[in-house]
Structure 1
Amino acid sequence: MRRLRRKVYFPSIERNCWSEQRELNGDRIEVRLIVYSGVHVGGLSVTALAMIIKEFRILMPFEMDEYYRGQLFAVSETSKNETGGGDGVQVLENDDFTSTTIRPGHSITGIYTHKIYHTKSKSPWALRKIFPDAAFVLHEECWNAFPYCKTVIKNPDYMKDAFYINIESMHLPDKGHTENALDLSPALLKKREVIVIDIYDDSLLKKTDITPETDVREFQSKKTGRGKLPKDWVETTKPVMCCYKVVQVYFKMFGFQTMVEHILHKQYPRIFAKFNRELYCWTDRWYDMTMEDIKKMEKKAVEELKKQIAEPEKRGTVCDVGDKEIY
């Protein structure tokens, strides 16, 4: 057996040790996951939750109310497109809510959803060989009080309180020039990195993400007359709005920072770009829908997802053995 081991010496007590032998590319490897207690690196306690923060600004050619309807439609449609063969989306709750605590200092009303994402077949093969099935089951809670929205993603069956993602969104009728759309504290502003996402930019996507049906450069809406998007569409097209998304990843597994940084820097731009390109290219499917129509569609989709996840055929994004990319 070949052992891949990185030796780290700290005057500390090991906590939450996990070790397992697995096969990877024909070799037997020992996988060890350790959280150290009482270690200080650069004056920071490893047991404390580390945090990475990035703000994504996604520019879209919509009025605010148009985007809200399109967003709800696209979430439902994407869930169906990605569900099947045991993986995909389960909707546990979808109810109205009112809260004074979700966004401190504000009383908000909107739609609360609790979903479970089964992501094993959609995760890179190398990670599937290393981690147990429970690592690929994510719980998502979302409070959508448009134009504000908060989403929390956790992995309670495996990483428990050692990892979660917090996403806060604000939608504004501007071109992405609002410097603190989500009222971040001075401390968070110092850590924040701003990344502007242009749905015209194909470089954010994989080749399999781009189809003739979701090519923003070729799509032209019959119902609105908008499109085809030129390269300088932000300056030459009206209307324009911006989705501000502050993504914070909290984790306390020693040695994971580089991987998490890569995932956040590479995958979230792809996710946000792909979703919003599809939303735009589906304009003629949702443009005439009322909020009542969308609520009926969402209710129907919950039942469809229950059936699809039990079917043998997998749908949407699937990573096979040939996909060696981890992040």
Structure 2
Amino acid sequence: MLIKEYRICMPLTTEEYRVGQLYTISKHSHQESEKGEGVEVVKNEPHEDPIHGPGQFTEKRVHLSSKLPSWARAVTPRIFYVTEKAWNYYPYTITADIPPTPQCSFLPKFSIYIETKYEDNCGDSENIFHSDKILGDHEVSFLDIAFDEIPERYYRSLEDPRFFSSAKTGRGPLREGWRQHTQPIMCSYKLVSVKFEVWGLQTRVEQFLHKVIRDILLIGHRQAFAWVDEWCDMSLEEVRAFETQMQVATNQKL
């Protein structure tokens, strides 16, 4: 198992991002889905937890056969998907699989567990998951939405925080060292555990998956800021309606 903690800051408040997160996930999933590939929503329903209180449960199938590298396609079937189950008790969320249901349609020894907390700070909360006693030392990686590189195929100049300026909020563009002097500012803390217990492939696959997750986190948080003028006036009820609309449209594309 390979465990890393990612910290991604944005020039938003956690209260604003409650809407922005839902909007961004829905729009991004719709954009990235096409016939036979993309994100299929299976369930999206209210959920009550005795510890975390009211929240939202979602179950999705992420179809990604053509997005695998050639060495991975050689050992997977033509139709390949990962089942994602998430519990959103904002500002705390969990993404995981539930045993004994395998998270992966083909490889039952594969799983990803992501624990997320959102706070109004610049990423300076240490051991926010109280994981040191359980996990020991693990890598902490700060991701900069403005200056860290993303794969060229995902680059859009209109979504580049170095050049984007919000007409409605007056925020941006982001300059070098922006995390130290920008207000408001929030941080997404993500503790990501990847497990792929297949002899001969474990290290390579776990490292590859963390690279994919890193890219997804960077792209998603860049888009959340770049699309802020599209969602900043929405209420929670309005963005939930948008989410439902996008889910129907996205499922029809698959």
Q: TM-score range by the shorter chain?
A: over 0.9
Q: SS where residue 114 of structure 1 aligns?
A: strand
Pairing 1:98–2:48 present: yes
CA contact (8 A) 1:220 1:226 kept: yes
SS in 2 for 1:246: strand
Of 302, 305, 316, the residue aligned with 2:247 is 302
Shift in alpha-carbon separation, 1:265–1:107, aligned structure 2, 3 A: closer
* CA deviation after TM superposition for structure 1 residue 89, in Å: 1.1
Contact 2:166 2:228 in 1 (8 A): yes
Q: How many Å apart are 1:185 and its aligned residue?
A: 4.8
Note if contact 1:96-1:112 (Cα within 8 Å) is conserved in structure 2. yes
**Alignment partner, residue 13 of structure 2:** 63
Summarize the Cα distance change of 1:107–1:236 in structure 2 as closer, same or farther, 3 Å threshold.
Answer: closer
2:123 equivalent to 1:176: yes
- Between the two proteins, the alignment pairs up a number of residues equal to 250
SS in 2 for 1:133: coil
Match of 1:75 in 2: 25
Q: 1:93-118 CA deviation, whole Å, 9 max, x = no partner?
A: 11110113xxxxx3332111000011
**2:58 matched to 1:138?**
no
Q: Extract structure 1 runs of 4+ deviating beyond 6 A.
A: none
- C-alpha distance 261-139 of structure 1, shift in aligned 2 (>3 A): closer
Show the counterpart of 2:236.
Answer: 291
Give unpaired runs (5+ residues) of structure 2: none
Determine the C-alpha separation between the residues in 1 that align with 2:9 and 2:32: 25
Distance change >3 Å, CA 202–CA 282, structure 1 → 2: same
CA distance in 1, matches of 2:248, 2:116: 28
Q: Matches of 1:264 and 1:191 in 2, distance apart? A: 20
The AA in structure 1 aligned to 2:33 is T
Task: Work out which of the two has the higher radius of gyration on C-alpha atoms and give 1 or 2.
Answer: 1
Residues 242 and 87 from structure 1, CA distance in 2 versus in 1: closer, same or farther, beyond 3 angstroms? Answer: same
Task: Check the 8 A contact 2:83/2:105 in 1, yes or no.
Answer: no
Name the structure 2 match of 1:197.
143
Q: Specify the SS of the correspondent of 2:174.
A: coil
Structure 2 equivalent of residue 245 of structure 1: 190
Tell me if structure 2 keeps the 8 A contact 1:53–1:191.
no
Q: TM-score, normalised by structure 1?
A: 0.73
Q: Is the 8 A contact 1:54 1:247 kept in 2?
A: yes
Distance 1:308 1:246, change over 3 A: same
Q: TM-score, normalised by structure 2?
A: 0.93
Q: Please report how far the alpha carbon of residue 265 of structure 1 lies from its aligned counterpart in structure 2 after TM superposition.
A: 4.1
Query: 132, 155, 166: which one pairs with 2:113?
Result: 166
The amino acid across from 1:118 in the alignment is H
Give the counterpart of 1:212 among 151, 157, 160.
157
> What is the CA–CA distance in structure 1 between the aligned matches of 2:211 and 2:196, rounded to whole Å?
18
- 2-structure distance, mates of 1:230, 1:293: 32
3-state SS of the aligned residue for 1:293?
helix
Identical-pair percentage: 35
Cα deviation for residue 201 of structure 1 reads 1.8
For residues 238 and 215 of structure 1, the distance between their equivalents in structure 2, rounded to whole angstroms, comes to 19
Report the RMSD for the aligned CA atoms in angstroms. 1.5
Rounded to whole Å, the distance in 1 between the matches of 2:47 and 2:215 is 30
Quick one: structure 1 residues 118 and 229, their matched pair in 2 at CA, closer, same or farther if it must change by over 3 Å? same
CA contact (8 A) 2:194 2:206 kept: no
Q: List aligned pairs for 1:144-159, cutoff 5 A.
A: 144-153=88-97, 155-159=103-107
For CA contacts below 8 A with separation 6 or more, give which structure has more relative contact order.
Answer: 2
